[in-house]
């Protein structure tokens, strides 16, 4: 099925460890996004990539880095995990910025716990 695929689905890290969350979309979308979701906080934008070769900071970028590997793939890296990064991470993609042409398509999420 067409859509956004995220890996892994679950992860437990120790404080200070690093890891990369992977995201791939097969809808030929130009733009991709990383959001985190915390209880009672809604979805907050970490980083986005407007198009292949570009990345920009969102609302909460500290402690994260991203790579737009190609048009399909957009990864999120935690260099030194902290308990405050315990969250559910969602990758999304869209054909156009904002909400045009059908909105964002989200992956199923990565549930990350940092102990």
Point out which residues bind another protein (CB under 8 A): 31, 33, 35, 40-45, 48, 50, 56, 58-59, 90, 97-100, 102-109
Q: How far is the CB of 56 from another protein (least distance, A)?
A: 7
Least separation in angstroms between CB 103 and another protein: 3
CA torsion through residues 62, 49, 21, 34, sign: positive
Nearer Cβ to another protein, position 58 or 63? 58
* Shortest CB 98 distance to another protein, Å: 4
What is the closest distance, in whole angstroms, from the C-beta atom of residue 18 to another protein in the complex? 25
CA-CA distance, 104 to 91, in Å (whole number)? Answer: 10
**In degrees rounded to 5, what are phi and psi of residue 62?**
-65, 130
- Distance between CA atoms of 40 and 102, rounded to whole angstroms? 26
Minimum CB distance to another protein smaller for 31 or for 85: 31
In this complex, which beta carbon is closest to another protein, that of residue 64 or of residue 90?
A: 90
CB–CB of 4/89 below 8 Å? no
**How far is Cα 21 from Cα 91, in angstroms, rounded to an integer?**
9
Nearer to another protein, 53 or 98 (CB): 98
């Amino acid at each position: 099925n067409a859509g956004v695929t995220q890996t892994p689905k679950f992860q437990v890290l120790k404080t200070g460890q690093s890891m990369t969350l992977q995201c791939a979309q097969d809808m030929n979308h130009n733009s991709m996004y990383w959001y985190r979701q915390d209880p009672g906080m809604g979805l907050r934008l970490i980083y986005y990539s407007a198009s292949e070769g570009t990345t920009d900071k969102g609302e909460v970028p500290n402690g994260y880095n991203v790579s737009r590997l190609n048009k399909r793939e957009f990864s999120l890296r935690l260099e030194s995990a902290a308990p405050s990064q315990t969250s559910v991470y969602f990758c999304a993609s869209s054909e156009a910025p904002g909400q045009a042409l059908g909105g964002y398509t989200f992956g199923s999420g990565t549930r990350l716990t940092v102990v």
